[in-house]
């Protein structure tokens, strides 16, 4: 098979120059945008740039990731040009957002993605707390993508990564529980248009969040997240470190972005993403 990016006309390459011209503005968030053919991890690459002093608003997109990863170092892979694999360099502290609100960034990315994909691809995207994007494929709820945020530059920056399955066919899925926009019946799977919509949606939401110093209530981010969170009002089992588990109903997401679970005895427990090994439905 040819290694040319045009060998599969159903999966054309992204045009980085065109994306940059349409997204980078003097008064905007995005300061540089690069598309690479292949890399190990866009998050790792952008973290290295952040450590060298790169400015907020750098965007790195890969046509394929050889060592893509999600939360807890779980692997993430897909065929070349079959998805969107991007990372963003953010410095919310420079905008006056205190660190206690930075835990909302993966949720903000999820809300921005759900909004952009709903409007552009015509697919109803829901969010499984804290960082999974879900779509309906037939009568099954499947994982469309994931979000990974990491501190960089000595804790002064955040790298926000997004992996999204776009045109994967059933035979290409890494696991049976995965899905793609194509399998969910998307009206549009043009990655050029989708990337532009995703970055514009994020820029708008991030700007509002920063303007309110990261306050999830004042910026209405918490309300927006609750509207698209598929985990709420479901019976869940949170697997915690030390082989402990918490079973109950997910009833809320608190001001710190933690999931509030009401146990069978009526007590409510707030668990953070860093404390949860796995979250399953009961």
Q: What is the pLDDT of residues 188-229, one digit of tens each?
A: 999 999 999 999 999 999 999 999 999 999 999 999 999 999
Chain centroid to CA 2: 31
Predicted local confidence at residue 268, as pLDDT: 97
Instruction: Indicate whether 185 belongs to any domain.
Output: yes
Same domain? For 211 and 267 the reply is no
For residue 1, the tally of other CB atoms under 10 A from its CB is: 5
Same domain? For 267 and 191 the reply is no
Predicted local confidence at residue 72, as pLDDT: 46
Q: Give yes or no for a contact between 204 and 235, defined as CB atoms under 8 angstroms apart.
A: no
**Please, what's the largest Cα pairwise distance for the chain?**
60
Same domain? For 245 and 219 the reply is no
Question: Which residues, at least 6 apart from 99, have a Cβ–Cβ distance to it below 8 Å?
Answer: 93, 155
Domain range enclosing 277: 235-281
83 phi-psi bin (left φ>0, alpha ψ -120 to 50, beta other): beta
Instruction: Indicate whether 104 belongs to any domain.
Output: yes
Same domain? For 188 and 271 the reply is no
In the chain, how many domains are there? Answer: 2
Same domain? For 143 and 193 the reply is yes
CATH of residue 253:
2.30.30.100
Same domain? For 198 and 133 the reply is yes
Same domain? For 154 and 88 the reply is yes
Q: Tell me which of 201, 228, 255 is where a domain ends.
A: 228
Instruction: Indicate whether 93 belongs to any domain.
Output: yes
Same domain? For 132 and 220 the reply is yes
Instruction: Indicate whether 249 belongs to any domain.
Output: yes
Same domain? For 122 and 247 the reply is no
In order along its 282 residues, the chain shows pLDDT tens digits of 445 555 567 899 999 999 999 999 999 999 999 999 999 999 999 999 999 999 999 999 999 998 655 544 555 568 899 999 999 999 999 999 999 999 999 999 999 999 999 999 999 999 999 889 999 999 999 999 999 999 999 999 999 999 999 999 999 998 999 999 999 999 999 999 999 999 999 999 999 999 999 999 999 999 999 999 999 999 999 999 888 999 999 999 999 999 999 999 999 999 999 889 889 887
SS3 for 114? Answer: helix
Same domain? For 193 and 241 the reply is no
- Spell out where the chain has E strands: 32-36, 58-62, 68-69, 75-76, 83-90, 126-128, 132-137, 140-152, 157-165, 235-240, 244-253, 259-263, 268-271, 278-281
Residue with tokens 């065929």: 79
Instruction: Indicate whether 272 belongs to any domain.
Output: yes
Tell me which residue of 202, 259, 209, 203 sits closest to 230, measured CA to CA. 259
Instruction: Indicate whether 164 belongs to any domain.
Output: yes
**Alpha-carbon span 159 to 12, nearest angstrom:** 27
Predicted local confidence at residue 277, as pLDDT: 86
Tell me which residue of 38, 34, 132 sits closest to 77, measured CA to CA. 38
Same domain? For 185 and 259 the reply is no
Instruction: Indicate whether 5 belongs to any domain.
Output: no
Question: Which residues, at least 6 apart from 20, have a Cβ–Cβ distance to it below 8 Å?
Answer: 30, 32, 33
């Amino acid at each position: 098979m040819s290694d040319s990016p045009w060998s599969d006309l159903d999966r054309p390459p992204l045009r980085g120059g065109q994306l940059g011209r349409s997204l980078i503005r003097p008064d905007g968030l995005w300061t540089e945008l690069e598309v690479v053919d292949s890399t190990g991890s866009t998050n790792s690459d952008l973290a290295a740039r952040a450590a060298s002093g790169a400015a907020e608003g750098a965007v790195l997109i890969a046509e394929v990731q050889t060592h893509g990863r999600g939360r807890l170092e779980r692997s993430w892979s897909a065929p070349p040009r079959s998805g969107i694999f991007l990372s963003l360099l953010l410095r919310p502290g420079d905008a006056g957002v205190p660190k206690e609100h930075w835990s909302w960034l993966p949720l903000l990315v999820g809300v921005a993605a759900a909004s952009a994909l709903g409007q552009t691809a015509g697919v109803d995207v829901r969010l499984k707390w804290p960082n999974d994007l879900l779509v309906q494929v037939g009568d099954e709820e499947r994982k469309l993508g994931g979000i990974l945020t990491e501190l960089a530059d000595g804790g002064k920056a955040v790298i926000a990564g997004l992996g999204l399955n776009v045109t994967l066919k059933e035979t290409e899925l890494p696991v049976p529980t995965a899905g793609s926009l194509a399998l969910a019946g998307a009206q549009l799977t043009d990655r050029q248009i989708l990337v532009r919509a995703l970055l514009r949606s994020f820029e708008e939401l991030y700007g509002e969040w920063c303007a309110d110093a990261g306050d999830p209530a004042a910026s209405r981010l918490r309300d927006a997240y609750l509207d698209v969170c598929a985990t709420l009002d479901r019976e869940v089992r949170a697997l915690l470190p030390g082989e402990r588990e918490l079973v109950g109903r997910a009833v809320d997401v608190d001001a710190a972005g933690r999931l509030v679970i009401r146990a069978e005895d009526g007590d409510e427990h707030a668990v953070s993403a860093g404390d949860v090994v796995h979250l399953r439905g009961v």
